[in-house]
Amino acid sequence: MTALRGQVAVVGIGNTRRWNAPGRTPFDQAQEAAILALEDCGLGLKDVDGLFCAISSSGLPVLNMAEKLGIRPRHADGTMVGGASFLFHLQAAVSALAHGLCDVALIVYGSNQLSAGGRLVSMPDPQPYEAPYRPRYPISSYALAASRHMHTYGTTREQLAEVALSARAWANLNPDAFARGPLTRDAVLGARMISDPLSKADCCLVTDGGAALVLTRADRAMDMKAAPVYVLGTGTAVSHRQIAAMPDLATTAAVESGQRAYAAAGLGPRDIDHVMVYDAFTITTLMFLEDLGFCAKGEGGPYIASGAIAPDGSLPVNTNGGGLSCNHPGMYGLFTLVEAVAQLRGICGARQVAGCEVALAHANGGVLSSQATAILGSAATL
Amino acid sequence: MSADPRFDRPGPDDVFNAALAEGRFRLQRCRVCGAMRCPPGLVCLACGSPDLAWVAVSGAGEVYATTTVRAREGDYNVAIVALAEGPRMMSRVEGLAPEAVAIGMKVMARIAPEPEPHVVFKPVEHQP
Ligand SMILES: [Zn+2]
């Protein structure tokens, strides 16, 4: 356990729940989420002195965000490692708050990926050693990893389909999910192939959206409107940029980020009541559950096929419906934390996990390139 | 103070591409530990030494991972090939249906000229 365990708390969450919102920029979504998160805890913009922000379409997101919100933060961090950025921000915010570099930290994100349609500006990060071969970005990289997992462990497309079906079953319990309604095994397995072995049904949604978190030191967290959710431990890992440089395509650096987070929290997989893993594709849910120790390495396929992660299963995973069925606005990572906090507060209605005291949120960035794990807990876990 | 002469040679991407343009597939091998790296760079990925030498690559390799990209203009293969010398690279295996490319298949490199010279692979005739 580290000295930082429980020193910092999430006191405010904001979620715009606007998955298809034409006429709004990414910064509009982000500003709305920031306002919601601050109102949620009862703080104001003038209280924010630490700003953490990444936006896919902006090279200088912190500067744009601070100007638009009219704040002058004394600490800022625009670390950009793809969809895991916001959990890297969380780890940095915990450290900055604990060391007095700031007193109120705001982590914020927004996207208009769906409504911007073809006008979406992709990240300027050319890969000259991939470009001649025209991989479809990013799905072909995940498909290559899936091919390796299938070859090494015998994982099947039928097992991957169970990930999509479980996500939809959870989404059907969440009135805010974008993709709701019946989904059949035949529909998933019959979906159009995009980059073998992954089909359209293996891919996350494309939506708009915005999310934000407000954090303070634990002493101050007691005075906020909602019950504080404590950061028990975090862990991050950076592995590679291009998929060809990944050391083992069937094992992710979630092994490392997870071990770091468990060690910091003094907990293990058996202590976790609720799990959020970044499901950019069905294969990522499967690999992260293995690499974070919820089942043995290589057993992810049979584990998921047993119904373990469906709403009536033994481990509640991606209870909002995940990136596959709830929302996926370009970079989804911050939404794993928003749902984890909501579950720990006990405000999730039909999808609420009973007796939820410890939650694990895990995010991925790039092409399995960056991994970040956070373990959050209620006051009972301190 | 002048610049460190160990890094006076042209950038490794330029050297790699210039060799391909002359029909040669070359990568860097570490003079300290013997590890080869791909793509090129300034340090050995195995031991961290900046003492690297350009050497010819045999072109022999094995498919490590594979996918078929489904496209309106025609499906095509994208693969990761493990070179006999150790490092892996993204490439394409040609000369058979894209979905027939299999992990473990033995392949041999050739340099495709268009649109810019790049390394592609074809299966060797006698698979073990
Ligand atoms: Zn070396």
Q: Residue A374's closest CA among A267, A237, A231, A242?
A: A231
The span from the CA of A111 to the CA of A27, in Å, is 7
Q: Is pLDDT of A118 > 60?
A: no
Whether residue B37 lies within 8 A of chain A, CB to CB, comes out as no
Give the nearest chain B residue to A137 (CA atoms). B69
Partners of residue A198 in chain B, C-beta under 8 Å: 67
Give the nearest chain B residue to A148 (CA atoms). B65
The H or E element that residue B15 is part of is helix B12-21
Partners of residue A239 in chain B, C-beta under 8 Å: none
Residue A171 domain flag: no
pLDDT of residue A119: 53
Contact assessment for residue B91 and residue B121, using Cβ atoms and an 8 Å cutoff: yes
Q: Residue A66's closest CA among A120, A97, A30?
A: A30
Whether residue A193 lies within 8 A of chain B, CB to CB, comes out as yes
Calculate what percentage of chain A has a pLDDT beyond 70.
Answer: 98
A104-111/A370-377 β-pairing: unpaired
Q: For residue A135, list its beta bridge partners.
A: none
Partners of residue B91 in chain A, C-beta under 8 Å: 133
> Which amino acid does the sequence have at A325?
S
pLDDT tens, A203-262?
999 999 999 999 999 999 999 999 999 999 999 999 999 999 999 999 999 999 999 999
Residue range of the domain that includes A58: 8-118+205-381
Provide the CA A254 distance to its chain's centre, in angstroms: 13
pLDDT tens, B30-88?
999 999 999 999 999 999 999 999 999 999 999 999 999 999 999 999 999 999 999 99
Residue A210 domain flag: yes
- Residue B58 distance to chain A (closest CA, Å): 19
Sorting pLDDT into bands at 50, 70 and 90, what band is A2?
A: confident
Residue A377 domain flag: yes
- Whether B90 sits inside 8 A of A249 (CB atoms) is no
- Whether B65 sits inside 8 A of A148 (CB atoms) is yes
Cα B93 to middle of ligand 1, angstroms: 29
pLDDT of residue A120: 52
pLDDT of residue A229: 98
Residue A289 domain flag: yes
For A253-279, give the secondary structure using H, E and C: CHHHHHHHHHHHHCCCHHHCCEEEECC
Whether residue A149 lies within 8 A of chain B, CB to CB, comes out as no
pLDDT of residue B125: 86
Residue A261 domain flag: yes
The encoded tokens of residue A65 equal 């965000």
Cα B38 to middle of ligand 1, angstroms: 13
The span from the CA of A305 to the CA of A6, in Å, is 36
Calculate what percentage of chain A has a pLDDT beyond 90.
Answer: 96
Whether residue B105 lies within 8 A of chain A, CB to CB, comes out as no
Whether residue B14 lies within 8 A of chain A, CB to CB, comes out as no
Can the peptide bond before residue A197 be classed as cis, meaning omega within 30 degrees of 0? yes
The span from the CA of A289 to the CA of A358, in Å, is 16
pLDDT of residue B1: 73
For B67, which of A128, A151, A195 is closest by C-beta distance? Answer: A195
- Residue B67 distance to chain A (closest CA, Å): 5
For B67, which of A129, A147, A151 is closest by C-beta distance? Answer: A147
CA A337 to each of CA A48, A305, A361, A362, A378: distance values in angstroms, whole numbers, following the listed order = 19, 26, 6, 8, 14
Whether residue A18 lies within 8 A of chain B, CB to CB, comes out as no
> What's the ipTM?
0.97
Residue A249 domain flag: yes
Give the nearest chain A residue to B99 (CA atoms). A196
- The CATH number given to whatever domain includes residue A338 is 3.40.47.10
Residue A192 domain flag: no
pLDDT of residue A117: 82
CB pairs under 8 A between A and B: 70
Whether residue A128 lies within 8 A of chain B, CB to CB, comes out as yes
- Whether B90 sits inside 8 A of A130 (CB atoms) is yes
The H or E element that residue B37 is part of is strand B36-37
The arithmetic mean of pLDDT across residues B8-13, rounded, is 95
Provide the CA B8 distance to its chain's centre, in angstroms: 24
CA A300 to each of CA A28, A98, A319: distance values in angstroms, whole numbers, following the listed order = 39, 37, 18
Q: Residue A292's closest CA among A323, A256, A246?
A: A256
Cα B41 to middle of ligand 1, angstroms: 12
User: With b meaning 16 or more CB within 10 Å and e meaning fewer, what string describes B54-84?
Assistant: eeebebebbbbbbbbbbeeeeebbbbbbbbe
Q: What is the pTM of this model?
A: 0.97
Query: How many residues are present in chain A?
Result: 382
- Whether B68 sits inside 8 A of A195 (CB atoms) is yes
pLDDT of residue B126: 80
Sorting pLDDT into bands at 50, 70 and 90, what band is A122?
A: low
Domains located in chain B, CATH noted:
5-56 (no CATH), 60-123 (2.40.50)
- Whether B70 sits inside 8 A of A194 (CB atoms) is yes
For A135, which of B38, B90, B99 is closest by C-beta distance? Answer: B90
pLDDT tens, B77-123?
999 999 999 999 999 999 999 999 999 999 999 999 999 999 999 99
Whether residue A119 lies within 8 A of chain B, CB to CB, comes out as no
pLDDT tens, A304-359?
999 999 999 999 999 999 999 999 999 999 999 999 999 999 999 999 999 999 99
Residue A227 domain flag: yes
The span from the CA of B99 to the CA of B103, in Å, is 11
Q: Which of A133, A242, A287 to mutate to test the interface with B (most CBs of B within 10 A)?
A: A133
Number of domains comprising chain A: 1
CA A211 to each of CA A38, A49, A334, A335, B75: distance values in angstroms, whole numbers, following the listed order = 12, 18, 7, 7, 38
